[in-house]
Chain A
Amino acid sequence: MIIDFHKVSVVYNPKSPFEFRALKQIETSFEKGKFYGLIGHTGSGKSTLIQTMNGLILPTTGDLNVDGIKLSKKTKQKVIHEAKMKVGMVFQFPEHQLFESTVLKDVMFGPMNMGASEEEAREKALQYLELLRVPETLYERSPFELSGGQMRKVAIAGILSMEPDILILDEPTAGLDPVSHDETMRLFNDVFNKIDVTVILITHDMDDVLEYTDAVKVMDQGELVREGKTTDILTDESFMTAYNLEIPHIIRLTKDLEKKGVYLKEIPLNTKDFISLYKEWRDSHA
């Protein structure tokens, strides 16, 4: 287990009219090298949960263990800094964190903060800019001159270049057009396959959850209501509707087909999958 939560609760503004219990006794764990989806309605506590993982928010009670680092209310800044180095976090609209004069320098910011020399930082920056397919001509440009999609890629490269063991993505595709959306998700999947990293993805897009994640954790009103294999949870129609979550389009289609007597051999994870499974069914029924 790379992350272990032990009875973690978070209360915002305790003992004031703004008091809010964001997390209630969370008890869960994340396995190394898996791709997780974290889903739930707005305000269910997903963002708070991921922010406890790198010490941006400390538990009000309880504690958690992130790859050997224990985080609790009393944890010192120095230890929290270590946790931040292990956990890379891509926030919503990550392009808002760009500030340097050139793209390359901005990507180097993270590695430099980790104590890398300028040489090493440059090397890592180049490596990850290339991995995210940012054109070389942009490296010396100001990040503010780029298009929205490019800016986001640069910001993501800035986080990957720190080579975190755990990568947390908080709605990384919010506000992107459909083409950039698919491209970004595929890039994350490439990264996941290429480097040994545990990924936690927060998203409202159930199609992405189905296609990319191995396991899912569902949150509601600060509590973890269910966890398990992605396909088990996303196909459970009554559970999904009870928590106001949409069923992935492909699953909906498969279920509709079942009503017409078309039974696919397994659950398709994306359109391509669906086409080949459907072909198989047709061939066997021809």
Chain B
Amino acid sequence: MLSSMLLGRYTPGESVIHHLDPRAKLISVILFMIIVFFANDWLGYGMLILFVLAVTKLAGLSVRFLFNGLKLVLILLIFTFLMHIFLTKGGTILVEGGFFTIESNGLITGIYITIRLALLVVITTLMTLTTSPIELTDAIEKLCKSLKAVKIPVHEIAMMMSISLRFIPTLMDETEKIIKAQSARGSTFMTGSLKSRITALVPIFIPLFMSAFKRADEMAVAMEVRGYKGEEGRTHYRVLNWQLKDTIAIIILLILGLILLWVRQ
């Protein structure tokens, strides 16, 4: 049930994309997020879609796999699309109902915005699918280093991030186990009224919080007894290594951005 969710999950692999420096991937994703907004016609969006498909292929993942894992996001996309179709006005009137009208501008922006959102979700998912959480936080820590000058505890924030990312799958597993145990005791959260479904969540959340707090406490103690005291004097086990291919990745994105600016209407 929860195990098919792909948001924030990592699939180990040996593809080119997997082997890029996490910093390069992070910068590329940020660049892509900006570039997405350059597109304002079919040609631009077409190129962006092709680009994302190419990256998917390079990462050794199938489109169907991504689609299945992102089904939940689909609800959000459909919602956005409907909002635009009904609320954005302008252009020629396509459908006239009693209290609503669908106008051509609404339809077109609806499609554009939905594609834009989908592209953003897919590209960030591609990053997390090909980058282990540890690599990702390392990259964030390295990229944000300069913020330390203004007294922002970059290392501590990165550590907190990596711990929370590390525990997402653990908590997911734990949730699934507790759901199973409680439903084996006859708890029903799939059927019944809304109220009974909400009260059925209590037997799941209480044990989940109990074990999460216990785990956090044990973790804190384990870190302390091993002498953790923040960044002071720490070295990294994995040293990030910026290579030519990473520079190339960034250049490709910059070129994509330039082309999009050029074809933009």
Contact = CB atoms under 8 A, between A and B. Distances in A.
Interface of A: 12-13, 15-18, 51, 54, 56, 77-78, 81, 84-85, 87-89, 91, 94, 96-99, 109-110, 113-114, 144, 158-159, 162
B183 to A, nearest CB: 7
Contacts of B191: 77-78, 81
Contacts of A162: 185-186
Interface of B: 3-4, 11, 61, 64-65, 68-69, 174, 177-178, 180-188, 190-191, 202-203, 206-207, 210-211
Contacts of B186: 81, 84-85, 110, 113-114, 162
Given A81-B188, A99-B203, A12 B3 contact: yes
A201 to B, nearest CB: 16
Q: Interface of chain B, helix or strand or loop or mixed?
A: helix
A110 B188 CA distance: 11
Contact of B183 (A18, A56, A114): A56
B218 to A, nearest CB: 14
26 contacts: A12-B3, A15-B65, A16-B68, A17-B65, A54-B184, A56-B180, A77-B191, A78-B191, A81-B186, A84-B183, A84-B186, A85-B186, A89-B184, A91-B177, A91-B180, A91-B181, A96-B177, A96-B207, A96-B211, A97-B203, A109-B187, A110-B186, A113-B186, A113-B187, A158-B185, A162-B185
A109 B186 CA distance: 9
Contacts of B207: 96-99
Nearest to B184: A89
A80 B149 CA distance: 60
Contacts of B203: 97, 99, 109
Contact of A109 (B64, B185, B190): B185
A158 B207 CA distance: 15
B120 to A, nearest CB: 23
Nearest to A110: B185
A70 to B, nearest CB: 19
Contacts of B187: 109, 113
A29 to B, nearest CB: 22
B206 A99 contact: yes
A159 B3 contact: no
Contacts of A113: 185-188
Nearest to B182: A97
Given A54-B184, A96-B181, A110-B185, 11 more contacts: A12-B3, A15-B64, A56-B180, A81-B188, A96-B178, A96-B211, A97-B181, A97-B207, A99-B203, A113-B187, A162-B185
